[in-house]
Structures are given as C-alpha cells and as structure tokens.
Chain A
Amino acid sequence: MIDQLSVFMENEPGRLTELCRAIGDAGVNMHALTIADTTDFGIVRIICDAPEKAALALKSVGYSARSTKVMAVAVPNEPGGLAALMDVLKGAGVNVEYAYCFATPDQRAVFVMKTTGGSGVAEALAAAGFEALQPKDVYSPDEL
C-alpha cells in the first residue's frame, strides 16, 4: 500500500490553481494528480512525495486534506496488461472504488486503486506475477 494525498475541493474557478500553488509552497513534489468531480465539489487525489507532511501543510492553510492508503500495482506496458490485473482482482472478490494510472520516470505504468472487500489480494496478485508497489517505489516517503 502507498499513501495518496486526498483534498476536498469546491468546483470553483481557480481553486485547483490555488491548491497546486499551496502544495508547491509546502515544497512537495507531485507525481500524479486526478480529480473526481460532481457538480458541487471535487476530490483531488495526488501521488506526491511526503504525503503526510503535504496533508498537514494543506490543513494548516485551511484545506480539508488527508492521506489515504491505496494500492499501487506495476502493470506490464502491453496489450491486455490491465485486463489481466482486473481478472485477478475479480477472482479475489475485490471491489474497485476508484482507480487511475500514471507512468514513473523509469517508464513503468503504475495502476493506483482504492479497493474494498475481497481477501488474499496480495497473494493472488503475487501468484499472477503482479508487483504490489511500496511507497519508496513510487515517491520519496515522509521522513520518520
């Protein structure tokens, strides 16, 4: 599991710009950003360095922000790669709440997802040859 920074945001012009500036001001480097939006509000999901520190920095300037555990899996960059992963998850009885994909600097495709239910997921993934990524594989984790 890795940590994702989640930020609650209103759908107002300019809000995303302000948010990105606040993250930059906190000295945090982002690797991926995706937005789930409704007519009224959005949830911005970010993979970044030191997600815990970033959440605290955002809270201190008035954002509703937190870090959330999500699953990150390296996906082979070939046709049907993602479909094979979904088959494994389905077999383990896992529901995917949301998911998104991004590429690392070394050209690996990372599939990030929030899951509920299921059991023995890690084992099933390993058996099918998928690599569940650790924080250090994806970003510079918080210093302890």
Chain B
Amino acid sequence: MYQPEIETMDRERLERLQLERLKPLLKRVYERIPFYHASFDEAGFDPEGLETLDDLRKAPFTVKQDLRDNYPFGMFAVPRDEVVRIHASSGTTGTATVVGYTQADLDAWSDCFARAVGRAHGTKDSTMQVAYGYGLFTGGLGAHMGGERFGATVVPMSTGNTKRQVNLMRDFDVDILACTPSYAMHIADTALEMGIDPATDLKVSGMICGAEPMSDELRRELEQKMGAQLIDIYGLSEVMGPGVACECELQDGLHLAEDHFIAEIVDPDTFEPVPDGQWGELVITTLSKECSPLIRYRTRDITRILPGECACGCTHRRIDRIRGRTDDMLIIRGVNVFPRQVEEVITAFPEVSAWYQLVVSTRGDLDAVDLNVEVVPEFDFDTVREVESLQRRIRAALKGNLQIAVNVRVVEPKTIERAESKQKRVIDLRKRG
C-alpha cells in the first residue's frame, strides 16, 4: 500500500476527517463561488449549519450544465495566481467543462493515482509506461504524476506509435502499463503481430486501466494476453481525473479515496439516497480540492456501494464497476433498466450473438419491451419447439436480471444493424407525456 495510514484508517477516524474537511469547504464555496452562494440560498441550505455527514444530503446537487454555465473560470474558488494547471473536457456535446488545479490539488491527485500503482503491485523499482493520452484529457498526466509520486520510473509515451510502445516495454522492462483497456488490447495484439508474446516476452505484471467501459470478457482476455493483473481505475475530469476510486488486487469493487471524496448513491429518478448495495447514480463531493471543489456532483455514472469490508485491509468503501450512464437508462414500468444488463444476459447464451435491439413501446397503458436477438449461424435447431424453448429461456433469464417481462424474438444472423453506439441498440417508441 502506498499510504497505509490513510488507506487503512479506521472508519470512525475517517468519517471525522471527512467532517473536518467538509465544514470549511461548504463555507468556502459559499463565500467564493457565486454559483454555490445562489444555489445554497435557493435551496435554503445553511453552509454553517452542518453537524453530521448526513446533513450534506440537504445540500443541492451540482450538474454538468452548471459547470458549462460558468465557463471558463466561474467555478474556481481560488485567485488565478494560485492555479497551476487546467484540464478541460472535450466539449463534444456542448461547451467544455474546465477544471483548475492548485499545487495542493495536483499533490492530492498524485497521491490518489499512486495508490493505484501500489495496488498494481508497483515498487520503487517499477517502470510504468503511461499510454493514456497526454493533454487536456486527465488520463495521461494523472497517471504520470501518480507514477512519479509513487517513486516508479515513468515512461511518458502517450497514445499511438504502438510498435514503439511494444519495443520500449521490452527494452525498459516495463512492469506496469497504464492506459485505456481498448488501447491495452491493441498493444497486446500489436506485440503478437510483431512476434512478441506479451505474456512471456514482456515483464508487465500490472495494468491500470480506466476511462472506458470494460466487460468482464474483455478484462479476462486482456489479463490472459498480457499475463498481468488488470486494476480498474475510476475518475472523471470534472471531479479530478483517474484515481477517484480504484480496485485493489482482490478486484472486488473499487475503493473510493474517501479522504478526498464523499460518495453517495441516489435514485436516478427521485434523487433520494438508496441503501448500500442498491444501484443508483454516483454523487461526489470533493473534500480537499482547492481550485474546483464540487458539492454533490451528479456524475451520471451508475454504480452501487458494495456493503462490507474488503479483505485487502483498506477501510475505504468500495463502489461496484460502473454499469452504465444515467443517459442510457430506461425506465420501464417503473424499473430502471440498462442496456448493459441485457448484454450480460444474452452473452450467456451461445445460441445467439451479442447483437441485439431493444424496442420499448406502449401497448394499452403499459410499457412493452421487445428484444430482437440474432441466432448464430451455428445455431443447432431443428424444430419450432427448440427455437421457442430458446426464446423462453432468454426471456426467463431477462426476467431474473431485469425484473421485467421482455418479449424475446430470435432473428436471423446478421440482420440487426451493427450500431456502434448504444443509443441505436435501444429504440424507445413511447410517447412522452
């Protein structure tokens, strides 16, 4: 562990630390950020009236649009001379969101990522190749600082030039690779094409991968190809970058950096807190950020708190791997449904391919859900009964996982549009009132 005194701090002390950091933070944002002054007043929230951590639930939420509305520096809580770094989101769907960092902010971020290096079995002798993109995107520089902070040797490759990445990994005895899971796969495949077996010819023993959704299948395939354990890391540019939460070697949930963040899970419809173990939207309050603090920021990422302690000894609570975005969420007969759940179910049936189309419509007063799923060309059928049995078994599995009835229809191979985006896999024909 990189910071055992913090990572294994007993819960009572940790929560006291959170409260000690939260109180002055609320006062500071109220005084220094006009947005929070107005939103606290509007919600009738008294930033000085907080007595327990639970009182934070009375504070209003912050959403991404609030950051856009205050472009570029309206959400900064420090004078410009204290800002040493700026990162910004790509802004593909609107105005970019800008996040500033003081030196203390960068130090805290470095510590958070350095914990991931420790969990990926890093030592001061380790060499870590950073193949996340460097730039306004937080991945590259976040990993870079974390590796240096930990005391590892950092190879700042950024993305691209994949053959060279492989050569340097071999020549420099790189044992930790930090990049997106899809790029890690590309590196492994490129190595194989070059006649280098990454599992045996390279020394990589740990990968720190994040910034993209990753299926369990992809993860296992990657671990096998690379001969290395993959540590899932979570972060988002509005909050900090990679390191907000990170898996330990047990790979059973991502430990939140609770000395720097307070996490809540809320129902994505009602925004009421949900009990531990229940899925909902992750809401984050930053505790130590000086430049761009956030109060109850709605991340739009869907996860849940994993109840219980982790055997690794870290006392910080764990979130489950991100299941989807609230943007992808469908509310069907009052139940929250994510396309990812449908994928999980159908990949368990070898008779069908992973291509599907979910159609939600209204029949009478009720929502009706139809799933079209392709059989594979090797599908072993002969009678109508066998096909109907397959449809019934998929339907039962969906009912078990989604808690709603889905009308399953198997269709011929290669008849469903190969849509890259999840949005196209879901067609919602319901009329919105």
Contact = CB atoms under 8 A, between A and B. Distances in A.
Q: Do A and B bind each other?
A: yes
Interface of A: 6, 8-10, 15, 36, 38, 40-41, 43, 59, 62-66, 68, 97-98, 114
B375 to A, nearest CB: 5
A63 B413 contact: yes
The 8 closest A-B pairs by CB, nearest first: A62-B414, A59-B377, A64-B379, A68-B382, A64-B375, A40-B409, A62-B413, A64-B377
A8 B409 contact: no
A15 B388 CA distance: 20
A114 B383 contact: yes
Interface residues of B, number: 20
Given A6-B381, A8-B375, A43-B381, 14 more contacts: A8-B410, A10-B411, A10-B412, A15-B412, A36-B384, A40-B409, A43-B382, A43-B383, A62-B377, A64-B377, A64-B378, A64-B381, A97-B385, A114-B382
A41 B377 contact: no
Interface in B382-428: 382-385, 387-388, 409-415
Main secondary structure of the interface of A (DSSP, over half): strand
A38 B412 contact: no
A114 B414 CA distance: 29
B58 to A, nearest CB: 52
Interface centre among B377, B380, B411, B414 (most CB of A within 10 A): B377
A36 B384 CA distance: 7
Contact of B387 (A15, A43, A59, A97): A43
14 contacts: A6-B381, A8-B379, A8-B410, A8-B412, A9-B412, A10-B412, A15-B412, A62-B377, A62-B412, A63-B377, A64-B375, A66-B379, A66-B382, A97-B382
Interface of B: 375-385, 387-388, 409-415
A64 B413 contact: yes
Contacts of B411: 10, 41
A98 B383 contact: yes
A10 B379 CA distance: 14
A62 B377 CA distance: 7
Contacts of B413: 62-64
B410 A41 contact: yes
A43 B412 contact: no
Contact of B383 (A15, A62, A97): A97
Given A8-B375, A10-B412, A38-B388, A66 B380 contact: yes
Contacts of B387: 8, 41, 43
Contacts of A64: 375-379, 381, 412-413
A114 B379 CA distance: 18
A63 B379 CA distance: 10
A8 B375 CA distance: 9
Contacts of B409: 40-41
A38 B410 CA distance: 12
B202 to A, nearest CB: 38
A108 to B, nearest CB: 25
Nearest to B411: A10
B284 to A, nearest CB: 46
B301 to A, nearest CB: 37
A114 B385 CA distance: 13
A8 B381 contact: yes
Given A43-B387, A62-B412, A64-B413, A6 B382 contact: yes
Contacts of B381: 6, 8, 43, 64, 66
A43 B151 CA distance: 65
A67 to B, nearest CB: 10
Nearest to A38: B384
A54 to B, nearest CB: 14
A51 B388 CA distance: 25
A63 B382 contact: no
A43 B409 CA distance: 14
A6 B383 CA distance: 9
Given A8-B375, A43-B387, A63 B412 contact: yes
A43 B384 contact: yes
A123 B383 CA distance: 26
Contacts of B375: 8, 64
B415 A10 contact: yes
Contacts of A9: 412
Nearest to A36: B384
A15 B415 CA distance: 12
A59 B378 CA distance: 8
Nearest to B407: A40
A41 B381 CA distance: 13
A65 B378 CA distance: 7
